[in-house]
Structure 1
Amino acid sequence: MNITLPGKAAAIMASQREQAEKQRARLGVEARSWYRISNAADPDEAEVMLYDEIGGWFGSTADDLIAELKGITSPKMRVRINSPGGSVFEGIAIANALRAHPANVTVQVDGYAASIASVIAMAGDRIEMAPNSMMMIHDASGLCYGNASDMDEMGELLDLISDNIADAYAARAGGTREQWRERMRAETWYLPEDAVGNGLADEAVKAPKAGTPTEPDEEPEPDMARAWDLAAYGYTGPRQPEPEAQPESVTLTFNVGDAIGEQLLAVLRKDIALCDVAPPVEAAASEPVAEATPVEPAAEEPAVEPEALVAEPEPEPPAAPAAPEDPWAALTAHLTQDEPDAWSVLVSNLTTTASSSAATEA
């Protein structure tokens, strides 16, 4: 931190500054700009960059910056600092102008904020330390030309200014004036984590990982890096599997007569009639019921000898099967029972009628 004193020292510095301005005018060189303001009317955030000595000796003073700060209408302001410090009083004026501005001020230390630049950083509503940045604090220093009394006066003034700067650190980070003066006398440097730990900053910003975008509105990736758009070739995405077709019900129909023969079918129908079981609808519909075989008159049959009738015992009628549990069991029940042959069944009525006639005549 540099200061000047009224009197002889001030006269010397003014003379040097005047000579520098004349030299610059003769060479046609513009004054070196140590700050820059951009996006002053941005609806989101304006940016102020302090990237040089504070209050340069070659024509640029703090009043230039303060005048431009009044033109910022954005609700937010980001002050980016990379400065070795400079004039104490001009730095204090800049810090107070930032505190008085209606915008919400965020100070971002990009490289380093040393000396009075660290005091300007204390004026932010929020202080961020960029990766690998640093902050330095130390006692004020200055030049003096004169006798012993002038030197004593200079020493007292430097202590007063240093106490004033220590109060700025204490107001932001806590602690006492003397504690901060001890650190200032030792010229203390702080890394981002140290600055946060000692209350001089609010956040140590982490470095972004490789490949992570740092700005939301950065340039889009080149067309060569983009994936191929196969839609131009008729590709519409992975083919979806077609739904499986549900199996259709199958009805098996067959003719019973063709399967077992007409003669056995007639016997099967007669057995079903004896069991007093109704035939299935499908069978009745597909096959017509055969008419009963006509019985020839007894007179036309050859005479049967009584002895033959007596000799041949009358077959017992078949026992009625038990009621089946279902129609199919009723249809197939006769296949598991002993039955007389078909011819005996057909002529049994003849033998019964003849026996009755013979008994009557006798």
Structure 2
Amino acid sequence: MPFDPSKIRARIASEKKPYSIRNLAGGEADVMLYGEIGWLGTTADEFVADIKALSASQINLHLSSPGGSVFDGIAIMNALRAHPAPVTVYVDSLAASIASVIAMAGDRIVARQGAEFMIHEAAGLAVGNADEMREMAELLDRQSDKIAGIYAARAGGSVEDWRAAMKRETWFSAQEAVDAGLADEVDAPTRESERAPGELAVAASWDLSVFRYAGREQAPAPEPVALERESHTLSEDIRSLIGEEIAAQLAAAVAPPVEDTTPVEPVAETTPVEPAPEEPTAEPEPEAAAEPVDEWAAMVAHLSQPKPDPWAALVARFTHSTSAASSATEAA
């Protein structure tokens, strides 16, 4: 954030907290979090202590901030998430930089008419030698990855996709934030927000010259991050894993069928050819009729056969031997 000496004088002259908590009827509490986070604005130690001591059944956080300290902002976000009461975040004007991360603490995030979100990579100052500069670069990369992971957990997409959007310093209008998944809904117009859009310009609230763009009107349209992935095409990463042949088969399987619009040529008429006469075939001779089988006779046939004489079978060998001996004597 830019250095503004007038804010130092205002902070010293006033002992008022830069945020306020007001209990409402029915157990609800309104928390007004306006201004910078950390440094000359809302610090985590004070805010977290007050949130932990807050007894409420519903917290309504009204947010309007250009951002500030990454560490203070993440501590504030986690304190709101840890509170047992559900949290509804109303982005009244601007949720930029680390303030957009605080907005992610809401169980429900409502973007007011004319509100804006802004995401960018972590930034910092370093004074020292090359090692100290490299250490700062690594710290900023870690913080940016951490912030991108918070966006991805809320809105979908990958850390890499959100890091790319953060590198571009992406600004979202209220509806664009809903489309990107950073907010759940745009608040219905009220008497206060039915004024001309120019009267609600966010850039008039703070000096935003530290950012690449001074508001959504000066920034290019945000590119889709998490919602652009629904497609029937195969990415190049998948092709490299499964090979071009299998990738082509999968792409053909998921692609919608293409109708064949090639005109069909008429078939030329030809003179019909009469089939050759079939030769008469010899009729097979009828098989002789099988004689009927007397099933009863077959069943009782074994009863009419004579039973073997066991004595005759016993002495048969002696009778046979005698006959053989007589024949031998006659032959001699």
Q: Which interval holds the TM-score relative to the shorter structure?
A: 0.5 to 0.7
The separation in 2 between residues aligned to 1:70 and 1:160, in whole angstroms, is: 28
Q: 2:101, 2:190 → 1: CA distance?
A: 28
**Contact 1:108/1:129 (CA < 8 Å) preserved in 2?**
yes
Measure the CA separation in 2 of the matches of 1:80 and 1:163: 26
Quote the RMSD (CA, aligned, Å).
2.6
Cα deviation for residue 209 of structure 1 reads 6.5
Partner of 1:50: 33
Contact 1:42 1:74 survives alignment (8 Å): no
Identity of aligned residues (%): 52
Inter-partner Cα distance in structure 2 for 1:168 and 1:24 = 34
Matched residue, 1:37: 21
Which of 33, 38, 56 does residue 74 from structure 1 map onto? 56
- Superposition pairs for residues 87-98 of structure 1, below 5 Å? 87-98=69-80
Q: Which residue of 1 aligns with 2:135?
A: 153
CA distance in 2, matches of 1:106, 1:118: 14
Q: 1:120 aligns with which of 74, 80, 102?
A: 102
1:87–1:116: 8 Å Cα contact kept in structure 2? yes
Residue 103 of structure 1: aligned partner: 85
Opposite residue 29 of structure 1, the aligned amino acid is A
What SS does structure 1 have at the residue aligned with 2:114? coil
CA distance in 1, matches of 2:166, 2:84: 31
Q: Give the secondary structure class of the aligned counterpart of 2:131.
A: helix
The residue identity in structure 1 corresponding to 2:39 is G
Q: Give the drift of 1:32.
A: 5.7
> How far is 1:149 from its partner?
1.3
Tell me the alpha carbon deviations over residues 9-34 of structure 1, each in whole angstroms, 9 at most, x when there is no partner. Answer: xxxxxxxxxxx99x999xx7334632
In the TM superposition, 1:187-226 aligns within 5 A as 187-208=169-190
Contact 1:50–1:82 (CA under 8 A) maintained in structure 2: yes
Counterpart secondary structure, 1:56: coil
Q: Distance in 1 between matches of 2:22 and 2:150?
A: 28
Within the candidate set 61, 64, 77, 2:43 is matched to 61
Alignment of 1:152-191 (within 5 A): 152-191=134-173
Change (3 A) 1:32 1:186: farther
Which structure has the bigger radius of gyration? 1
Runs (5+) with no aligned partner, structure 1: 3-19, 213-362
TM-score (norm. length: structure 2): 0.53
Alpha-carbon displacement from aligned partner over 1:62-109 (angstroms, at most 9, x marks no partner): 111111112322211100000000110010000000000011100000
User: Would you say 1:142 and 2:124 are equivalent positions?
Assistant: yes
Compute the TM-score of the two structures, normalised by the length of structure 1.
0.49
SS in structure 2 opposite 1:33? coil
Paired AA for residue 38 in structure 2: G
Classify the secondary structure of the residue corresponding to 1:119. helix
The alpha-carbon deviation at position 126 of structure 1 amounts to: 0.4
Aligned residues: 189
CA–CA distance in 2 between the matches of 1:161 and 1:79?
Answer: 24
Contact 1:34 1:56 (C-alpha < 8 Å) held by counterparts: no
Where has structure 1 moved over 3 Å in runs of 4 or more?
Answer: none
Equivalent residue runs for 1:283-298 within 5 Å? none
1:237 matched to which residue of 2?
A: none
> What secondary structure, in the 3-state scheme, does the structure 2 residue paired with 1:124 have?
coil
